[in-house]
Amino acid sequence: MGIEYIAQAVSAFNGLRDRQSGKNVQPGFLLGSRKVELFSDFIAVGTCAQVRVQTSFNDGEMAVFDGEVLVGDAVFVKARINAFQPRDPIAFIKSVQRN
- The residues spanned by each domain of the chain are 2-98
Predicted local distance difference test score (pLDDT) of residue 92: 87
Give the Cα separation of 69 and 36 in Å (integer).
Answer: 12
Predicted local distance difference test score (pLDDT) of residue 99: 64
**Confidence check: pLDDT of 50 > 90:** yes
Predicted local distance difference test score (pLDDT) of residue 78: 97
Q: CATH homologous superfamily for 2-98?
A: Hotdog Thioesterase (3.10.129.10)
Half-sphere exposure of 60 (CA within 13 A, CB side): 2
**Confidence check: pLDDT of 16 > 90:** yes
Helix (H, G, I), strand (E, B) or coil at 11: helix
Confidence of residue 66 (pLDDT cuts 50, 70, 90): very high
